[in-house]
Amino acid sequence: MLISSDQIEQLHRRFKQLSGDQPTIRKENFNNVPDLELNPIRSKIVRAFFDNRNLRKGSSGLADEINFEDFLTIMSYFRPIDTTMDEEQVQLCRKEKLRFLFHMYDSDSDGRITLEEYRNVVEELLSGNPHIEKESARSIADGAMMEAASVCVGQMEPDQVYEGITFDDFLKIWQGIDIETKMHVRFLNMETIALCH
Amino acid sequence: MTYRVGEAHSMGFQVFVPFSPWSWLLLLVALKCPEASSDLNESTNSTAQREPNVRFAAAGSEPDEKISVFALDYDYVQIPYEVTLWILLASLAKIGFHLYHRLPGLMPESCLLIIVGALVGAIIFGTDHKSPPVMDSSIYFLYLLPPIVLEGGYFMPTRPFFENIGSILWWAGLGALINAFGIGLSLYLICQIKAFGLSDVNLLQNLLFGSLISAVDPVAVLAVFEEARVNEPLYMMIFGEALLNDGISVVLYNILIAFTKMHKFEDIEPVDILAGCARFVIVGVGGVFFGVIFGFISAFITRFTQNISAIEPLIVFMFSYLSYLAAETLYLSGILAITACAVTMKKYVEENVSQTSYTTIKYFMKMLSSVSETLIFIFMGVSTVGKNHEWNWAFICFTLVFCQIWRAISVFALFYVSNQFRTFPFSIKDQCIIFYSGVRGAGSFSLAFLLPLSLFPRKKMFVTATLVVIYFTVFIQGITIGPLVRYLDVKKTNKKESINEELHIRLMDHLKAGIEDVCGHWSHYQVRDKFKKFDHRYLRKILIRKNQPKSSIVSLYKKLEMKQAIEMVETGILSTAAFSVPCQAQRIHRIKRLSPEDVESMRDILTRNMYQVRQRTLSYNKYNLKPQTSEKQAKEILIRRQNTLRESMRKGHSLPWGKPAGTKNIRYLSFPYGRPQPAGRDTRVAELTDNDSSDSELPSIMFKAHSRAGILQESRLTQEIIPMKSLPRGGKPSHFGYQRNTSQEEHDGRGRRGALRPKPLFHAVDEEFESGEESGEETSAIRSRWSGEHRPTRQHHRSHSPLLQRK
């Protein structure tokens, strides 16, 4: 993922602000972001920053602290897809973004989104509203899982087991949806010099 | 007979098919009467004023020799009678239009209305009606225009609108200005050419004409767009333009009229021009401001109307109208006021008013705007067919040409600029579509028609030119835009409506917000976020009803319903194999597709509670509201419900799920983790406790296969449901299934739920979902069951509800 030098400077400033001029950030530093408190999925977001899979440092587990380079790595997932890129690169970018999302769902790093994890996500998403009970959230998650199963596997035999959504299934679900237009952070839009990461 | 003229115009459409003999009879009567009418008809300059006294005066002045047993008095009822006939005629035409289902995708409905209008005009002209209807300024601006604008504002999908608001304002505002001045100036230059005989048309008049001809009505093409499923930003640009364009044109028109009234054009100084510009801005902003204020006031008032819900629609309409009038009093833009009022009010009013009021408001709004538009087109038709034309080849042709040229210029120039600021720019194809969708409509015609003759000696020419442009754009552009969109292969939207999609998109929204917070970057996204927080903290507290006993019970009801539904389905559908190993069973049997109703209710929950309501833009159709439930299933539900009740009475159950749900006995279908519960409500097993393993308490609703041909799953279901499920613990067979009622009851159930509103439904149901309708019926069966018994035994249920929770 490519980010320009301007953006890197801006992010560096932000990084220093968050870390209190330390070279690394820990989970606690994210408490300094006040608006994040109100975000229903804040724990997942914060966790995503430390996820080894996103940092490309491993296939599971969490890092304790991240430095600026790691911070940039995470931010690069949100770069808008450049329309001048060719098809292959677009696909690659898309896959990377979807992988990031997948890791957010798949908290135990086993490569599958299980029903429990899905339920967890839905509950978090609905946690902002006190009127929705866990039951409703659960049923929604279950419904979504059913749907995913039907999309990915189609009609299943009575003996078939559906373990969970794998990354390929996840890609299938997302096939029609336009992640390019949705998963980007606005300011990472400016394109001046592309710096290879 | 004169009505044959109409048939000659039929152009092969099926619109005349549904014309019953009665309507022709009515038309005939209507036509005959004017010939027999007295001279009292002449005076109508304004259709609003009829003297009811005239009739009595006439009767009194000449003492009759005899008392007539049967007399005809057409004058008395003429105006309402004719107006009603026209509206009916247009409605019948619309029915015919939609009967032939391919037509709406081929051409905009405006085409149809224009044809009807022309037809009526032809009839009136043909019969040499003594008093053709005329429209004057006050009728148009006070009565006909507000409903149309209100409807546009109310049904506007807010989130996509505000996401694109920068582009929309830039495009609509500047586009209207560029078009107006461009066309006006170009025409002025043309008028200077002596050869065309137009030298008496001065600059101001040309500018005025430019402003009124640049008022586009692209909503007409939105229906065509829906067919082609264009992408959301494009749709929003056109919608936004339609919304704001009227307002801007009218403002410009009024300012220029004021200028024109300053008789001498030489008197206009730069100061006046600056004043005009300032006025433009103030009028616009002031109008919006008024609208917002009135919106909040009406939302606030609806907070207190729970006991007299019948006046809720009244409040909504009256306040909107009041905002329009108040703004007009101060010479602010009433159109923008009423639009802003509708947008502001909608969110809060929807939560406050009762279900029926909500439906009433929606339908009434559609109805009013439909009537208004029809009348305007009728007037247009009447003007078309008549002697009051002035045809000037040069003017008309150049008008057409310049309209297209200037629209192209404004589109490409403005979008070039706005694309620099957009994350996802509009492609050239999109811009071509936007250019081509510049269809004029009733707005332009009305403004042209209302030009004061005293200031515009050549008014007829303007009217003729306007009519030509309208006819041209509506028919030629309107009909060909559909194929053009398909040909250009404009980027389509993904209309798959699924829970997954909703979930993921919500997640992404929050993720984006979170990342932006972390980056510390302020973006328009955050503006919306901040507004939402403000909204939650202050506005909602003030404007939304606090204790809504009705709806909290209703929402509880709904929750319990769902719970019961889930549990009922679980016990209802089992396969024998699964029972033996409840804990280990990790299978999904017969994955049933979620029914549209399930999906819809889930999405309702999602949208209402997770995030700002995400409107689906593509359900908007200017001319009708999508039907919400399928009526045909209603009766079936009632019948089945009665059977259910009867059976339950017989078996002595007061509740469908009598056992206090303690532990689960039946598990199958499970996912690897946690509770071995099947995903999907359809395949869930109801929880039976093993504590009370008495057979008798089990719900007695029998599951009957809905007789639908060719759905495999059903037959499978029937076979497998009936046998008893053995409870792992108690080993007790329990009999169940449940009645499959279809969605009527569900609809009723929904009707009672204040919290959950049936939204305009998706009509593009995925194939996946089709077979799943039965499951929806199952769950609604539960609901119906529940609803049937909920009322008398509410307390009873409540006491059971904690027990029914899963452990």
How far off is chain B from A168, nearest CA to CA, in Å? 15
Cα–Cα nearest to B579, from B426, B725, B736? B725
**Residue whose pair of structure tokens reads 């009632």 in the numeric block:** B638
Q: Do A114 and B594 touch (CB under 8 A)?
A: no
Give the per-residue pLDDT at A131: 62
Contact residues on chain A for B608, CB-CB shorter than 8 A: 129
B531 contact A CB<8A? no
Q: Do A116 and B673 touch (CB under 8 A)?
A: yes
Amino acid letter for position B499: I
Q: Which of B 776-795 lie inside 8 A of A, CB atoms?
A: none
Query: Taking a C-beta distance cutoff of 8 angstroms, is the pair B743, B597 a contact?
Result: yes
Q: Which pTM was predicted?
A: 0.59
Give the per-residue pLDDT at B333: 84
Dist. CA B214–CA B278, nearest whole Å: 21
Q: Do A159 and B508 touch (CB under 8 A)?
A: no
Task: Work out how many CB contacts closer than 8 A connect A with B.
Answer: 211
Q: Do B674 and A115 touch (CB under 8 A)?
A: yes
Contact residues on chain B for A159, CB-CB shorter than 8 A: 587
Contact residues on chain B for A177, CB-CB shorter than 8 A: 494, 496, 501, 504-505
Dist. CA B109–CA B623, nearest whole Å: 8
Contacts of B654 by beta carbon, 8 Å cutoff, 6+ apart:
B648, B789, B793, B796
Dist. CA B668–CA B661, nearest whole Å: 17
Give the per-residue pLDDT at B324: 92
B632 contact A CB<8A? no
Dist. CA B433–CA B428, nearest whole Å: 9
Nearest to B559 among A136, A142, A155 (CB): A136
Query: Taking a C-beta distance cutoff of 8 angstroms, is the pair B39, B74 a contact?
Result: no
Q: Do B519 and A136 touch (CB under 8 A)?
A: no
Q: Do B512 and A183 touch (CB under 8 A)?
A: yes
Dist. CA B310–CA B360, nearest whole Å: 10
Q: Which of B 660-689 lie inside 8 A of A, CB atoms?
A: 671-674, 677-684
Q: Which of B422, B505, B671 to mutate to test the interface with A (most CBs of A within 10 A)?
A: B671
Contact residues on chain B for A75, CB-CB shorter than 8 A: 515, 519
Query: Taking a C-beta distance cutoff of 8 angstroms, is the pair B552, A120 a contact?
Result: no
B581 contact A CB<8A? no
Nearest to B514 among A39, A143, A144 (CB): A39
Nearest CA in chain A to B607: A126
ipTM of the complex: 0.87
Dist. CA B640–CA B740, nearest whole Å: 7
Q: Which of B163, B423, B428, B511 to mutate to test the interface with A (most CBs of A within 10 A)?
A: B511
Dist. CA A174–CA A155, nearest whole Å: 19
Dist. CA B237–CA B221, nearest whole Å: 12
Phi, psi of B132 (to 5 degrees): -65, 145
Give the per-residue pLDDT at B631: 39
Give the per-residue pLDDT at A10: 77
Give the per-residue pLDDT at B164: 79
Contacts of B424 by beta carbon, 8 Å cutoff, 6+ apart:
A80, A181, B233
**CB-CB neighbours of B340 under 10 Å:** 25
Q: Do A131 and B499 touch (CB under 8 A)?
A: no
Q: Which of B 539-558 lie inside 8 A of A, CB atoms?
A: 555
Q: b/e for B52-70, b at 16 or more Cβ within 10 A?
A: eeeeeeeeeeeeeeeeeee
Structure token digits, residue B769 = 């979902």
Dist. CA B111–CA A12, nearest whole Å: 59
Nearest CA in chain A to B599: A143
Q: Do A33 and B517 touch (CB under 8 A)?
A: yes
Give the per-residue pLDDT at A162: 66
Give the per-residue pLDDT at B650: 60
Nearest to A143 among B504, B555, B681 (CB): B681
**Helix H or strand E encompassing A113:** strand A112-113
Q: Do A189 and B423 touch (CB under 8 A)?
A: yes
Give the per-residue pLDDT at A54: 75
Give the per-residue pLDDT at B279: 82
Q: DSSP per residue over B163-215, as a string?
A: HTHHHHHIIIIIHHHHHHHHHHHHHHHHHHSGGGT-TT--HHHHHHHHHHHT-
Q: Do B521 and A116 touch (CB under 8 A)?
A: no
Q: Which of A10, A100, A140 to mutate to test the interface with B (most CBs of B within 10 A)?
A: A140
Phi, psi of A66 (to 5 degrees): -125, 150
Query: Taking a C-beta distance cutoff of 8 angstroms, is the pair B594, B779 a contact?
Result: no
Nearest to B494 among A10, A176, A185 (CB): A176
Dist. CA B547–CA B123, nearest whole Å: 58
Q: Do A101 and B508 touch (CB under 8 A)?
A: yes
Series of mean pLDDT values for 10-residue runs along chain A (197 residues): 69 78 80 74 82 77 80 79 74 83 82 81 74 72 75 63 75 73 60 30
Query: Taking a C-beta distance cutoff of 8 angstroms, is the pair B598, A143 a contact?
Result: yes
Q: Which of B610, B668, B716 to mutate to test the interface with A (most CBs of A within 10 A)?
A: B610
How far off is chain A from B796, nearest CA to CA, in Å? 20
Give the per-residue pLDDT at B499: 66
Cα dihedral: B187, B191, B197, B199 (round 10): 130
Dist. CA B716–CA B747, nearest whole Å: 27
Contact residues on chain B for A145, CB-CB shorter than 8 A: 671, 679-680
Dist. CA B625–CA B623, nearest whole Å: 7
Cα–Cα nearest to B669, from A145, A109, A102? A145
Q: Do B805 and A145 touch (CB under 8 A)?
A: no
Cα–Cα nearest to B440, from B185, B623, B214, B247? B214
Phi-psi region at A93: left, alpha or beta (left = phi > 0; alpha = psi -120 to 50): alpha
* DSSP 8-state class, residue A80: P
Q: Do B500 and A156 touch (CB under 8 A)?
A: no
Q: Do B529 and A142 touch (CB under 8 A)?
A: no
H-state helical runs in B535-672: 540-543, 549-572, 576-580, 596-610, 634-651
- Cα separations in angstroms, B403 against A100, B496, B760: 49, 38, 36
Whats the size of chain A, residue-wise? 197
How far off is chain A from B493, nearest CA to CA, in Å? 9
Nearest CA in chain A to B585: A161
Q: Do A11 and B424 touch (CB under 8 A)?
A: no
Give the per-residue pLDDT at B131: 60
Structure token digits, residue B335 = 């159109």
Q: Which of B159, B500, B552 to mutate to test the interface with A (most CBs of A within 10 A)?
A: B500
Question: Could you tell me the sign of the dihedral formed by the alpha carbons of B705, B710, B711, B712, in that order?
Answer: positive
Dist. CA B206–CA B370, nearest whole Å: 32
* DSSP 8-state class, residue B594: P
Helix axes B499-519, A5-19, angle to 10 degrees: 80
Dist. CA B601–CA B756, nearest whole Å: 8
Dist. CA A26–CA A18, nearest whole Å: 9
Regions in chain B scoring below 70 on pLDDT: 1-65, 104-105, 129-134, 218-229, 263-268, 490-499, 520-529, 545-600, 602-807
Q: Which of A35, A83, A172 to mutate to test the interface with B (most CBs of B within 10 A)?
A: A35
How far off is chain A from B794, nearest CA to CA, in Å? 19
Q: DSSP per residue over B120-165, as a string?
A: HHHHHHHTT-SS-----HHIIIIIIHHHHHHHHHHT--HHHHHHTH
Q: Do B594 and A162 touch (CB under 8 A)?
A: no
Q: Which of A116, A139, A153, A175 to mutate to test the interface with B (most CBs of B within 10 A)?
A: A139
**Residue whose pair of structure tokens reads 């429990």 in the numeric block:** A116
Nearest to B559 among A14, A133, A142 (CB): A133
Give the per-residue pLDDT at B224: 66
Query: Taking a C-beta distance cutoff of 8 angstroms, is the pair A163, A155 a contact?
Result: no
Nearest to B499 among A41, A144, A181 (CB): A144
Q: Do B512 and A126 touch (CB under 8 A)?
A: no
Question: Could you tell me the sign of the dihedral formed by the alpha carbons of A52, A54, A57, A63, in that order?
Answer: negative
Give the per-residue pLDDT at B395: 84
Dist. CA B345–CA B543, nearest whole Å: 10
* DSSP 8-state class, residue A65: E
Dist. CA B346–CA B339, nearest whole Å: 11
How far off is chain A from B680, nearest CA to CA, in Å? 4
Dist. CA A11–CA A3, nearest whole Å: 10
